[in-house]
């Protein structure tokens, strides 16, 4: 594999598998309503906590609201820190600090990261559109302090394809808007361009220690997406099933990547590698041969679920800009 040092100069979002896909936009009616309401409520706010995705600190910015937000006292909260690369996330925080912008990393599902009472009152979920209305909570009496919880909102028009793919990959845009296969192809392009599969060569010897604690933090509904359809709750053997699946997936991607003789800088070579990896993933996931599109969609759905659960490792998709470029 002689092409690791060279990666695509062309934006991954402009690769061939995106041809015909077009610009990615998802702006349902509740977002339009919420945007107008947020603009109005911001006039009353003394402090704004702007929640961004720690995996995409720049792509998850709502540019339409930035002029208003930047005029307020603001803290940027990078949520889902458990799914982001901790080293790169720290560089992002330092980048915000260099622009005199307060920033912290959080995990909204962790009781140690966010005050328990806020977790009970404000509903959060892995899918976009869980919160659709602005809700107010009184959290202190002397002095009276109120928190306004707003829905996550996108801009009416996402500026470029790759930003749209990142938003969809992290769950901010529904998969059906983009297509699971297209998303999985983009994810494979990202992993390959970074040489990530090479880091998995020594990850086959897994241990149960630590998995039980991790399992308790994992949503049962998400786990069921990877397990055979059943009604009973996931068991310890189910944890091993998922861990074995992760190992098989990592091995499949490592082998195909290590045996790749092409040039990662060449679009057609990279697309050929991705096609080989789709075939390898189908075997690793033991998905039977079906109508071509059906099997590929099943592969894509399971692969995306593993990524979003953090089973493939912590990732930050946005590169840290140089000190001259704005980040907020």
Any idea where the domains of the chain sit in the sequence? 1-16+158-219+234-327, 27-156
Q: At what angle do helices 267-284 and 292-308 cross, to 10 degrees?
A: 90
Ligand-binding site membership of 202 (annotated): no
pLDDT of residue 225: 62
Q: At what angle do helices 180-193 and 292-308 cross, to 10 degrees?
A: 60
> Rounded distance, CA 201 to CA 220, Å?
29
> Rounded distance, CA 273 to CA 271, Å?
5
CA angle, corner 174, sides to 168 and 175, nearest 5?
75
Strand blocks (E) in the chain: 47-53, 73-79, 102-105, 135-141, 144-149
Residue 114 has pLDDT above 70, yes or no: no
Share of the chain above pLDDT 90, in %: 53
Ligand-binding site membership of 311 (annotated): no
Count Cα atoms within 13 angstroms, Cβ side, for 144: 3
> Is the Cβ–Cβ distance between 9 and 140 less than 8 Å?
no
Residue 189 or 212, more confident: 189
Ligand-binding site membership of 160 (annotated): no
Q: What is the pTM of this model?
A: 0.82
Q: 27-156 adopts what CATH topology? A: Rossmann fold (3.40.50)
Ligand-binding site membership of 152 (annotated): yes
pLDDT one-digit tens code per residue, 13-41: 777 777 666 778 888 888 888 889 999 98
Nearest one of 74, 301, 282 to 183, comparing CA atoms: 301
Residue 86 has pLDDT above 80, yes or no: yes
Torsions phi, psi of 112, nearest 5?
-80, -15
Least confident of 139-153, 189-203, 208-222: 208-222
Ligand-binding site membership of 301 (annotated): no
Find the mean pLDDT for residues 166-179: 93
């Amino acid at each position: 594999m002689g092409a690791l040092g060279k990666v695509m100069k062309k934006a991954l979002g402009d690769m061939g598998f995106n041809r015909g896909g077009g610009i990615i936009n998802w702006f349902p009616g509740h977002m339009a309503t919420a945007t107008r309401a947020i603009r109005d409520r911001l006039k009353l706010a003394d402090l704004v906590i702007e929640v961004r995705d720690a995996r995409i600190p720049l792509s998850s910015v709502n540019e339409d609201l930035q002029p208003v937000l930047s005029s307020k006292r603001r803290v940027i909260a990078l949520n889902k820190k458990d799914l982001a690369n901790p080293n790169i996330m720290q560089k992002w925080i330092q980048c915000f600090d260099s622009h005199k912008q307060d920033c912290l990393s959080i995990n909204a599902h962790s009781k140690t990261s966010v005050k328990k009472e806020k977790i009970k009152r404000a509903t959060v979920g892995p899918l976009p559109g869980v919160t659709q209305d602005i809700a107010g909570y009184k959290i202190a009496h002397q002095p009276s302090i109120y928190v306004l919880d707003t829905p996550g909102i996108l801009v009416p028009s996402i500026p470029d394809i790759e930003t749209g793919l990142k938003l969809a990959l992290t769950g901010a845009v529904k998969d059906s808007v983009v297509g699971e296969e297209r998303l999985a192809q983009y994810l494979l392009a990202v992993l390959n361009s970074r040489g990530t599969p090479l880091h998995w060569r020594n990850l086959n010897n897994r241990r149960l220690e630590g998995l039980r604690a991790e399992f308790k933090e994992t949503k049962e509904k998400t786990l069921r997406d990877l397990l055979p359809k059943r009604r009973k709750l996931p068991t310890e053997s189910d944890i091993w099933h998922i861990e074995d699946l992760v190992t098989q997936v990592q091995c499949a991607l490592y082998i195909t990547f290590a045996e790749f003789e092409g040039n990662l800088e060449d679009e057609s070579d990279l697309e050929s590698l991705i096609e080989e990896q789709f075939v390898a993933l189908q075997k690793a996931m033991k998905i039977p041969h079906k109508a071509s599109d059906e099997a590929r969609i099943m592969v894509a759905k399971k692969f995306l679920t593993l990524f979003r659960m953090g089973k493939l490792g912590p990732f930050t998709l946005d590169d840290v800009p140089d000190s001259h470029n704005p980040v907020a």
